[in-house]
Structure 1
Amino acid sequence: MAYYPDWVADTFPPQKIDFHRFDWIDFAFAVPTLDLGLEWDDPRAPDSLHDLVMAAHAHEKKVKLSIGGWTGSRYFSNAVSTEDNRRRFSENIRTLYTAYDLDGIDIDWEYPGAKGANGNTWNVKDGANFLIFLQMLRVVLPIDARITAAVATMPFIGEDGKPMSNVTPFAKVLDWVLIMNYDVWGSSSKPGPNAPLRDGCGNSTQPDSSAAAAFTAWTSAGFPACQLVLGLPSYGYISSSTASRLRTRATATSKPKKAKPNLAGVDNIMNEDGATQGQIQYKDLIKEGVLKRSNSTHLDGQTSTIFTGANGFVRHWDSCSDTPFLRSHSTRQVVTYDDPESLSLKGAFAREAGMLGVNIFDVHGDTGDWELTDAVRKALGLVDQ
């Protein structure tokens, strides 16, 4: 699975997706409005969604519409707050579902019972109201529609302000949830891992923020492992920093979803907007020449890919989070990211834990030969090793 964001349509039209490598594509995003309707992030989105559905269905693959996102969750609380609001909101979702011949709906509310982005409305009853809304949406949509949710590494927040200890009722109405195990740490003078697999050193300041911790939290609260999907990033963060090791975690208060850094060449790849727009796609690390890959042949004849930094950057491995990072002493930059090695470990974790699968955010961040995707597919046992 992977997300297809509407803002990449100009450079990465849906037809460039190799659908043989994916089962589901999530189109991001439609955004709830104050009047319980839905609007688009981008005026080109309707055409892009139409093209995506046509291309996917031509390959017998399926598409969900993702609603919300970090900057699009302002009015969720209002939309689910009353019976009438829930009904109208559900019906408006059904209208889009039918109009675009969709196969499912993904609710990316960031986050029920918590503020999330600046300007969001929220209520202590959000979690309970969200469940009632999902139950209604299940009735309103066709019986074969898939309904999913993108969620934090901890279960939904209850009325007491703490993660719910029992989310079993949600598992009865949701086909699966995607655990967004990314954006754990953005651009910072004291950078940390974007998507930690685990707290391997046992000293994390936020031990709940890793793939392993998220799996434990959700399953302990009653959500079946077979309905959990692990979110994987195809991007990383550029930081202006002299740090030689990674910190553990930032506070969950800033989560840029649409950062598109302007690369300034090999000598300095830090974009002007720093902490708020410091994202960089994996493919651009290769393109900019700061990350190199080569094949190594072992004595038994097997080959493996070796990754090294280049043009002043040195690749390091953070054993605490099982993620790589690049560091340039001369330009005082650190790049935290994921590559085929780290995503392979996450894919293997998902498989061994009995999870449903993985979902990459997003599909256009991979290389032209689908280096990240294929590494994960191998780890999941979907292609020959």
Structure 2
Amino acid sequence: MPSSHVAFGQEVGWGPQYWPAYGEQKPRDLDWARTDIGYYFVTETDTTGFRVPVVQSEAGVKDFVTAAKANGKKAVFTIGGWIGSRFFGSSVVATDRNRQAFVKDVKAFLDTYTFDGVDFIGPSKLITAAIATSGLVEPDGSPLADMSDLGKVFDIINLMNYHVGGSWEAPSGPNYPLRTYKSVTSVVEVIDTFKKAGIPASKMMLGIPAYGYSYKLKSSTLKSQKIKGSLRKTDTNEPIVDVCDVRTASYTGMWHYVDLIDEGLLSSNGKVRLKGWTRHVDACSVTPFLFNRIPKNTSCRKAQRVEAGGGVYTFDSTGFNEEGKSLSHSTLDCA
């Protein structure tokens, strides 16, 4: 189970957003007016259970719950993530004894900080999960064909239908495609996969990323141009070997929406492209390239694929400025 995010509810037209507790954004700075559920991101597993990472403070956990309740919203934590879930299958739930201890630890953590979820016992608590595009897997690594039992237990299933394609693949592809062409999967395919596996559409939350990727083309179609300096660098993730012994291939190329504005590539409302950048929207994946804003109706058309579903969520809460959030909210009305 991945970790915490901030939820924008159906009545407003939004769904959850991940709030990175390890980042600079304060809980009070979240847009609680558009948020129904705040998911604290992240707690991580270890060999005996789970914990709050050392780079995150206990005071931060308390501040998050306090901010949520002060705004009349629910506070939820989830467990895992890329690094934080590495001990989940091998240790945390490997035996009956470990599973029982894990449930007790989760309940104690929930009660200590007065979270509204995650809970594996109390019927009044929320149980949610963010799940990768292929769904859950069997012990041998094959996709779990029948997830209907999970559909009965979980209140919300957040579909992680982003980070699908990028410069690490050949050929490169869109981060968040509507349809599958040469990409690994797509919004349409992910939703169909989960529906066929027995997850009710009413419990699905479709993920909307608040970031895109830059690419270095084989043959340049744009003039070289300098961008203004910034105190905050947009891409500082140098190649490293992480704790899972996986080496990142290159700089990530990830650009938050606000960074595109800070670097002068977009106007503050995301409507005007600057510095000579051009835009092309791929008809198949409905993905904008050579980034302007996400054009009106692209997020809407993808969100419609949830049909009578649970809504949408955003990864993460730091990626949009106020005008970007308002714009994305309005696009979901499909006007």
Q: Is the 8 A contact 2:234 2:254 kept in 1?
A: no
Distance 1:31 1:238, change over 3 A: same
Distance 1:354 1:272, change over 3 A: closer
Q: Which moved more, 1:236-245 or 1:175-184?
A: 236-245
For 1:221, the aligned partner's letter is: A
Aligned to 1:92: 105
TM-fit CA distance, 1:158: 2.5
Where 2:108 maps in the other structure, the secondary structure is helix
Q: Is the 8 A contact 1:231 1:360 kept in 2?
A: yes
Where 2:115 maps in the other structure, the secondary structure is coil
Aligned to 1:15: 28
Q: Is 1:210 the equivalent of 2:193?
A: no
TM alignment of 1:93-132, pairs within 5 A: 93-105=106-118
TM-fit CA distance, 1:313: 2.6
How far apart, in 2, do the equivalents of 1:71 and 1:104 lie? 21
Q: Say which structure, 1 or 2, has more relative contact order (CA 8 Å, 6+ apart).
A: 2
Structure 1 residues 115-158: Cα deviation after superposition (integer angstroms, max 9, x where no partner): xxxxxxxxxxxxxxxxxxxxxx623xx22110111111122122
1:273 aligns with one of 213, 234, 238: 238
TM-fit CA distance, 1:283: 1.0
Q: Which moved more, 1:211-220 or 1:159-168?
A: 159-168
For 2:45, the aligned partner's letter is: P
Structure with greater strand share of residues: 1
Structure 1 residues 183-204: Cα deviation after superposition (integer angstroms, max 9, x where no partner): 11234485321111223xxx32
Where 2:177 maps in the other structure, the secondary structure is coil
How far apart, in 2, do the equivalents of 1:233 and 1:155 lie? 18
- What RMSD in Å do the two structures reach over aligned CA positions? 2.9
TM alignment of 1:291-370, pairs within 5 A: 291-292=266-267, 306-308=271-273, 310-326=274-290, 338=294, 341-350=297-306, 353-369=307-323
Gaps of 5+ in 2: 1-6, 8-16, 222-226, 240-249
Aligned to 1:123: none
Distance 1:344 1:150, change over 3 A: same
How far apart, in 1, do the equivalents of 2:219 and 2:130 lie? 32
How far apart, in 2, do the equivalents of 1:205 and 1:17 lie? 33
TM-fit CA distance, 1:241: 2.9
1:181 aligns with one of 128, 144, 161: 161
How far apart, in 2, do the equivalents of 1:278 and 1:336 lie? 15
The number of residue pairs the alignment matches comes to 301
Gaps of 5+ in 1: 106-136, 246-262, 295-304, 327-334
TM-fit CA distance, 1:343: 2.4
Distance 1:339 1:279, change over 3 A: farther
For 1:194, the aligned partner's letter is: N
Q: Is the 8 A contact 1:233 1:338 kept in 2?
A: no
TM-fit CA distance, 1:312: 4.2
Q: Is the 8 A contact 2:134 2:193 kept in 1?
A: yes
Aligned to 1:250: none
Distance 1:224 1:362, change over 3 A: same
How far apart, in 2, do the equivalents of 1:336 and 1:33 lie? 41
Q: Is the 8 A contact 2:212 2:256 kept in 1?
A: yes
TM-score for both structures, normalised by structure 2 = 0.80
TM-fit CA distance, 1:291: 2.4
How far apart, in 2, do the equivalents of 1:307 and 1:347 lie? 24
For 2:279, the aligned partner's letter is: R
1:64 aligns with one of 47, 67, 76: 76
Q: Percent identity?
A: 30
How far apart, in 2, do the equivalents of 1:227 and 1:54 lie? 27
Q: Is 1:40 the equivalent of 2:81?
A: no
Aligned to 1:251: none
TM-score for both structures, normalised by structure 1 = 0.70
